[in-house]
Chains A and B, each alone.
Chain A
Amino acid sequence: MADVPKREVENVEFVFEVMGSPGEGIDAVDLGDALRALNLNPTLALIEKMGGTKKRNEKKIKLDEFLPIYSQVKKEKEQGCYEDFIECLKLYDKAENGTMLLAELQHALLALGESLDDEQVETLFADCMDPEDDEGMIPYSQFIQRLMSDPVVFD
């Protein structure tokens, strides 16, 4: 039984109102976005494990099915904090001066892990990144700060 506090249930209801259709719930392809909007941060793998689909109109998830998923994902520890990121990116920081090659970061995002596509990387950089300097270097700590400093939608 999902023991989700009442206030959070209200938030879930709002997300369902916005993203879903009444009576049917949300489309399982939106499961990830729904969880993210609620301040959770699951990987794609976790989303798939929890029942997310890749195509629209394959499956619907109702509110009462969603709540245990929400509960479960909330328990996942690996949210990642600022220091974790910096530590990882320092690997690329050859000069140890807080900068790294933009192209390396770009490559990592496009090629590694649960990779993003070109458009997503372009949007991400447009939003959070200062333009690279003459040598193609960027200050990565600022980038991470901006990425993580989104105004929280739900409290």
Chain B
Amino acid sequence: MLRSCVCLRSESTKRRSSSVEDASSCRSSEIERVGASMQTTTLGPNGQPQPVAAQTTTRASSLLQLFQRKGWCKHFRKPLRGMSASRAEKTIRAAIFIQKWYRQHQARREMQKRCNWQIFQNLEYASEQDQAELYKFFNDLIKNMPQAAATGNKYHQNSRISILEEDGELVEEAGDIVSTRIELPITKNDIDRLIDVFRKKKGNRLHPKYVAMILREGARCLKQMPNIVMVSTAVSQQVTVCGDLHGKLDDLLVVLYKNGLPSTSNPYVFNGDFVDRGKKGLEVLLLLLSLYLAFPNSVFLNRGNHEDSVMNARYGFSREVESKYPRNYKQLLLLIDEVYRWLPLGSVLNSRVLIVHGGFSDSTSLDLIKSIDRGKYVSILRPPVTDGEPLDKTEWQQIFDIMWSDPQSMQGCKPNTLRGAGVWFGPDVTETFLKRHRLNYVIRSHECKPNGHEFMHDNKVITIFSASNYYAMGSNKGAYMRLNNQLMPHFVQYISAASQTKRLSFRQRMGIVESSALKELAVRMRDHRDELELEFQKCDPDGSGHITISKWCCVMESVTKLGLPWRLLRDKLAPGTDSQSVNYVTTLDLLDTDVIMEAEADGTTVMDALYANKSSLVTIFNIIDADNSGEITLDEFETAIDLLVAHMPGVYSKEEMLEKCRMMDLNGDGKVDLNEFLEAFRLSDLHRKQQQEEDMRRRSTHRTIQNPSDSVTKLANAISKNTAVVEQDIDPTDCEADAVDPK
């Protein structure tokens, strides 16, 4: 389109600064008046002054002079020549109006984008916060249990040692298993074949024995690495660093496609969070481990906060493994735990640049971290497995800080209340840390950024995030960074599956991101549906169904505990509402639509994760059972329940939990052994699921009586359409990548 414009010159890419006081008040009389007192020179094509050729009427020439004098465009003369002043003036006015409106259009777009971004980030961190509650719960538990020693999972300790040595019993899976065979040692050829299998849409799976083989061999090799790995560019002269991948195999393949496979001259560091949220976490993990096994001195893997079975139980990876290998997932998850516990905690590049997943705090000491026995921390959210030794909370804290912290722009170092673990560290903390450890800067990941990377703290902290389309299709770019021998960073940012968004207009793309944000938010709101209904009704004693905007915002914030711009979201979450009040019934109706209810069924709450995570329950039991008798008294258990309820308010009150335990004490001697303990939780879990189903049934009958309004249905349909996922084979060439100019 633009090519047809004849007057196009490359110089016009710079926005011309208008020096007219208020361009919109251009009147011809004014122009004339001003024009009369001006020089008769103009700027030629190279910007040098030239005399004006008086070819036009007096009025037009004064107009021309005005524009020339004020340094406006060099090219306007052509269309205006021969035009009357008022016409010329009108043309300018039109142009200015359109330009103004365009800029407003862009600014509004930007604001919409940021609003959606805020929703996603808030939701993400709010649920991570829940998860971190577990860590605090365990901490409290240990603190409050008299003579408690974190004796850890005695039951699993032995099995962990053997799992690395023996071939566990793997059974055949049903369905499509590819005939691809992999043998150790893994070669580049194997990598190519693995990529070919992994990139197909679901259905094609590697035989479980090869999955187990890669995991086992990976863990075995990783075990030999130190906690902080020294990486050097002495041989390669450069290195590539990637951030969070979160199960996005397409992004990993884009990086490998654009930047080449690892080799002695092309080493890579992958900075954690390989799994969870994305659908191909297992493939990403297996491919990374295979690359590591095939090119052991050229691939460096750091642990992230999602390399953790407790996180995986909540964020989807455990479910992914279960759905892909329903008959073998338990074995495979144990092997994955082994990989996790032996992943190094960070890397240092040329002794000058630290690469860790989260960040650091004012008490982080790399020496201390180097001395830790990292194999103890199977999950970072559970107390470490020890052999009767007391738990070292300082050590535990150190690991948390490097995995979970985020940089902030303000000075100081304070607990990260958004995530619930780690700290927020300011530029002063960075400076001290770098000085103390004699480092130049830090590379970290952990936070999604619109362009896949961000500089902070006077360019001393670089965030690199490699999962594009992380929140929704088109929500953000991913990036990888290349560092040369002088450790100067160059970034390449990209979007994978670009063809899916390229053909869409900006409006449509925004629609997709917005729908995804609303869907996630609505699912989260469903957790509190009854409470919302109650609070709304309290504000509406007349039962009119309408409340003021302020009250609606107030209720939403206090019930969901999410600090979101509720005013902005009002017309989305209460569709069809007018500008004076809110029809809150539409909000509740929206939560009851099919699209939201189906999405909820997919999700897991932290309680689900806790119940599902047997190891956590066993740990709780062992902590309470201070004397290692294999039994706990109901009194001891009561203390634990207090803490559990305080940290994770689930559906059950303390009384209900205790009642269940009393019921489990079959022999009535006031004590509960491990199996009874687990049984108690399992039954709670069962009861809770039954309760949920009953709720859903009750609501769907309620719905058939009162149909949701048109606007709610329309919105639900839009959300459904925009968030429908089309799964395809991955094609790494289908990407849009561009290199970012170095600063």
Nearest residue in B to A21 (C-beta to C-beta)? B409
Nearest chain A CB to B80's CB is how many angstroms away? 9
User: Which residues of B lie under 8 Å from residue A32 when comparing CB positions?
Assistant: 103, 107
Q: What distance in Å separates the Cβ of A103 from its nearest Cβ neighbour in chain B?
A: 5
Query: Does A49 interact with chain B (Cβ within 8 Å)?
Result: yes
Q: A21-B409, A111-B73 are in contact. Are A153 and B102 (CB under 8 A)?
A: no
A137 located at the interface, meaning its Cβ lies under 8 Å from any Cβ of chain B in the complex: no
Closest to A80 in B: B97
B-side contacts of A80, CB under 8 Å: 97, 100-101
| CA gap between A40 and B100 in the complex, in Å | 10
- Complex Cα distance A56/B309, Å? 44
Q: Does A2 contact B (CB under 8 A)?
A: no
**When the two chains form their complex, are residues B5 and A103 in contact, meaning their CB atoms are under 8 A apart?**
yes
Asked if A46 and B5 sit within 8 Å, CB to CB, the answer is no
Query: Does A88 have its Cβ within 8 Å of any Cβ on chain B?
Result: yes
Question: Which 7 pairs show the lowest CB-CB distances between chains A and B?
Answer: A88-B94, A36-B107, A113-B96, A112-B95, A113-B95, A78-B24, A37-B111
Q: Which of A18, A37, A88, A112 contacts B108 (CB 8 A)?
A: A37
Across-interface contacts of A102 in B (CB, < 8 A)? 1, 4
User: CA separation between A80 and B97, bound complex, in Å?
Assistant: 6
Residues of A within 8 A of B (CB): 7, 10-11, 14-15, 18-19, 21-23, 32-34, 36-37, 39-46, 48-49, 54, 78, 80, 84-85, 87-89, 91-92, 102-128, 131-132, 136, 144, 147-148, 150-155
Distance of A39 Cα from B101 Cα, bound (Å): 10
- Are A111 and B7 closer than 8 Å at their CB atoms? yes
Q: Please tell me which one of the listed residues A15, A40, A91, A118 contacts residue B87 in the complex, with CB atoms under 8 A apart.
A: A91
Is the CB of B368 closer than 8 A to any CB of chain A? Answer: no
Give the complex CA separation of A122 and B400 in angstroms: 47
Q: A49-B22, A151-B112 are in contact. Are A110 and B101 (CB under 8 A)?
A: no
Interface contact A154-B20, CB-CB below 8 Å: no
Can you name 13 A-B pairs with beta carbons within 8 Å?
A18-B118, A23-B410, A87-B90, A88-B90, A88-B94, A91-B91, A114-B23, A115-B12, A116-B99, A120-B106, A123-B506, A127-B507, A147-B98
B13 sits at the interface (CB 8 A): yes
B101→A41 contact, CB < 8 A:
yes
Known: A37-B110, A43-B18. A113 touches B5 (CB 8 A): no
**How distant is the Cα of A85 from the Cα of B106 in the complex, in angstroms?**
19
Given contacts A91-B87, A112-B92, contact A44 B18 (CB under 8 A): yes
Which chain B residues (186-228) contact chain A, with CB distance < 8 Å? none
User: Cβ of B279 < 8 Å from any Cβ of A?
Assistant: no
> Once the chains are docked, how many angstroms separate the CA of A114 from the CA of B100?
8
Q: Which listed residue, A46, A92, A107, touches B22 by the CB 8 Å rule?
A: A46
A104-B95 Cα distance, complex, nearest whole Å: 11
The residue in chain A whose Cβ has the minimal distance to the Cβ of B567 is A10
Q: In chain B, what residue has the closest Cβ to A115?
A: B16
A interface majority secondary structure: helix
User: Smallest CB-CB separation from A110: which chain B residue?
Assistant: B12
Interface residues on B, range: 35 or more
**CB-CB < 8 A to A89: which residues of B?**
94
Most buried by B among A44, A92, A106: A44
Residue of A nearest to B93 (CB): A88
Contact assessment for B92 and A18 in the assembled complex, using a CB-CB cutoff below 8 Å:
no
- Count A-B contacts at CB 8 Å: 195
Say yes or no: is B166 at the interface (Cβ < 8 Å to chain A).
no
Chain A residues, Cβ within 8 Å of B2 = 106, 118, 121-122
A112 in contact with B409 given A44-B18, A126-B505, A150-B108 (CB within 8 Å): no
Which residues of B (315-346) have their CB < 8 Å from a CB of A?
none
Q: How far is the CB of A145 from chain B (nearest CB, A)?
A: 11
Known: A37-B110, A88-B97. A113 touches B102 (CB 8 A): no
Other than the given A36-B108, A87-B90, A123-B506, 11 more pairs (CB < 8 A) read A10-B567, A18-B118, A88-B97, A92-B91, A106-B2, A110-B7, A113-B23, A115-B12, A147-B105, A151-B108, A153-B115
Q: With CB as the reference atom, state the residue of chain A lying closest to B14.
A: A117
Q: Compute how far the CA of A121 lies from the CA of B99 in the bound complex, rounded to whole angstroms.
A: 9
Closest A residue to B4 using CB positions: A103
Measured between C-beta atoms, what is the minimum distance from B362 to chain A in Å? 20
CB contact under 8 A between A114 and B99, given known A103-B4, A125-B1: yes
* Smallest CB gap from A117: residue in B: B13
Looking across the interface, which residue of chain B has its beta carbon closest to that of A18?
A: B114
Given A49-B22, A115-B15, decide whether A107 and B7 contact each other with a Cβ distance below 8 A. Answer: yes
**A119–B506 Cα gap in the complex (Å)?**
14
In the complex, how many angstroms separate the beta carbon of A27 from the nearest chain B beta carbon? 13
> Does B79 lie at the interface of the complex (its beta carbon under 8 Å from any beta carbon of A)?
yes
Closest Cβ of chain A: how far from B705's Cβ, in Å? 33
**A62 → chain B closest CB, angstroms:** 15
A33 to B15, CA, bound (A): 15
Q: List residues of chain A with CB within 8 A of the CB of B93.
A: 84, 88, 113
B17 at the interface (CB under 8 A from A): yes
Central interface residue in A7, A22, A41, by most chain B CB within 10 Å:
A41
